[in-house]
């Protein structure tokens, strides 16, 4: 009888552990999904501006955006599994990383001025869509003061990445009359999932 009870308790404990592990990565997955769309969306704006101005792409800023997004992903994963002692420090680093990414957005905005009216309208609409992603990233991250149990939960409802991608792509491919811009934008459409997920699913997930 005791043996059977012990087996049941062990099974229940393992089940709870598996559920907690799944929960603990929920907000990290949400954040990663947002970044998988947001970072390329920001870089696309850089590319459109460069094409409209007849200038080379700002590769330094492109590299910075990608690097800063990677830092956020890494710190989020570290924060999710951090001990109570190390969590506050990692969380502060994570918040600094998000602030740095927000500055990247501002740097892109500073360059997002072109003479062609239709292209400028496209850029403005894309910028407005991308602007909300920083708030979405911030909302997905649990408070630095939360215990490990609370860090295992989403701090806010998941951001609707699919809607963002659909709206962004719709604006992106709308013709402007600028041959250089229109010829490139159809190749810049966003995906709803990370490259790794698309590879794993053999392209079934876009």
Helix (H, G, I), strand (E, B) or coil at 129: helix
CA gap 158, 140 in Å, rounded: 7
Domain boundaries, the chain: 25-200
**Is 151:142 a contact under the CB 8 Å cutoff?**
yes
- The residue whose two tokens read 């149990």 is 149
Q: What is the pLDDT of residues 40-66, one digit of tens each?
A: 999 999 999 999 999 999 999 999 999
**Is 125:51 a contact under the CB 8 Å cutoff?**
no
Nearest Cα neighbor of 50 from 203, 204, 189, 184 is 184
For residue 144, the model assigns a pLDDT of: 76
CA distances from residue 84 to 76, 104, 145, 148, 190 in whole angstroms, order as listed: 15, 31, 10, 7, 37
CA gap 70, 131 in Å, rounded: 19
Nearest Cα neighbor of 73 from 25, 22, 24, 32 is 32
pTM given for the model: 0.78
Q: Cα–chain-centroid distance for residue 31?
A: 5
Interior angle at CA 112, CA 110 and CA 114, nearest 5: 130
Token pair of 17, please? Answer: 């552990």
**Is 96:57 a contact under the CB 8 Å cutoff?**
no
108 C-beta neighbours (distance < 10 Å), count: 22
Phi and psi at residue 204, in whole multiples of 5°?
-70, -30
Kindly give the parts of the chain with pLDDT less than 50.
Answer: 2-23, 149-150, 153-155, 198
The DSSP line for 37-75 is HHHHHHHHHHHHHHHHHT----HHHHHHHHHHHHHHHHH
User: Where is 157: in which H helix or E strand?
Assistant: none
For residue 15, the model assigns a pLDDT of: 40
């Amino acid at each position: 009888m005791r043996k059977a009870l012990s087996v049941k308790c062990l099974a229940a404990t393992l089940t709870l552990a598996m559920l907690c592990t799944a929960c603990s990565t929920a907000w990290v997955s949400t954040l990663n999904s947002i970044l998988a769309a947001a970072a390329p969306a920001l870089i696309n704006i850089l590319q459109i501006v460069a094409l409209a101005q007849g200038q080379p792409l700002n590769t330094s800023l492109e590299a910075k955006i990608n690097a800063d997004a990677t830092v956020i992903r890494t710190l989020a994963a570290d924060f999710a599994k951090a001990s109570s002692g190390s969590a506050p420090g990692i969380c502060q680093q994570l918040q600094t990383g998000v602030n740095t990414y927000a500055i990247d957005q501002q740097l892109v905005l500073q360059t997002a001025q072109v003479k062609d009216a239709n292209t400028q309208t496209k850029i403005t609409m894309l910028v407005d869509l991308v602007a909300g992603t920083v708030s979405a990233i911030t909302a997905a991250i649990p408070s630095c003061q939360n215990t490990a149990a609370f860090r295992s939960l989403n701090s806010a409802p998941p951001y609707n990445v699919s809607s963002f991608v659909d709206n962004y792509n719709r604006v992106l491919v709308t013709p402007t009359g600028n041959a250089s811009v229109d010829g490139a934008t159809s190749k810049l459409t966003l995906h709803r999932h990370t490259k790794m997920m698309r590879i794993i699913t053999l392209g079934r997930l876009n």
